């Protein structure tokens, strides 16, 4: 019996987040929290490396339906991630550590063997009202109120 699409979607996303956390640990990151949620938004992974606090948005795609991860993160998702990060920072003593926002794409096959992991560091930059989504080669400037 086939599972409902939403159930498969959630299971794929959860598996992708686990793979991304494993990959980050191998890279020397210390995972502080996974699936941080507040009323303002959600952050998939919060990690720390070399005194830097890293907020990671994980996008899991099944090959064949692959879109570039930057094309799947819209201005609303950026705003929610930034607002959730601000809420997380309020739990920490000041002065706050420097922060960075990354996007990780986990590309899987039909039955979830990992085919590719893409880690985009500094994928978007949070400033007061303007967000830059992208990397050196591909960047979109987005303006909206948070």
CATH of the domain at 10: 3.40.1350.10
Rounded CA-CA distance 38/50 in Å is 26
Number of domains in the chain: 1
Which pLDDT score is estimated for 142? 36
Digit-by-digit pLDDT tens for the chain (146 residues) are: 445 545 665 666 677 888 899 999 999 999 999 999 999 889 999 999 999 999 999 988 776 665 666 677 888 888 899 999 999 999 888 888 899 999 998 877 766 577 778 898 988 777 644 444 444 334 444 333 32
Which pLDDT score is estimated for 8? 60
pTM given for the model:
0.78
Which pLDDT score is estimated for 4? 53
Q: Which residues pair with 105 in a beta bridge?
A: 59, 118
Instruction: Enumerate long-range contacts of 112-115, CB under 8 Å, 24 or more apart.
Output: 112/12, 112/15, 114/19, 115/63
Residue-number span of the structural domain to which 122 is assigned: 5-143
Which pLDDT score is estimated for 36? 95
Which pLDDT score is estimated for 84? 93
């Amino acid at each position: 019996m086939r599972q409902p699409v939403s159930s498969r979607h959630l299971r794929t996303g959860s598996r992708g987040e686990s793979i991304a956390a494993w990959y980050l640990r191998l890279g020397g990151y210390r995972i502080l929290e996974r699936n941080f949620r507040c009323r303002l938004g959600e952050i998939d992974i919060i990690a720390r490396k070399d005194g830097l606090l890293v907020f990671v948005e994980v996008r899991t795609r099944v090959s064949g339906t692959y879109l570039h991860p930057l094309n799947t993160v819209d201005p609303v998702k950026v705003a929610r991630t930034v607002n959730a990060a601000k809420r997380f920072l309020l739990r920490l003593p000041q002065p706050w550590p420097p922060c960075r926002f990354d996007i990780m794409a986990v590309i899987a096959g039909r039955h979830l063997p990992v085919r590719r992991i893409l880690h985009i560091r500094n994928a978007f930059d949070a400033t007061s009202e303007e967000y830059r989504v992208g990397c050196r080669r591909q960047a979109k400037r987005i303006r909206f109120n948070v």
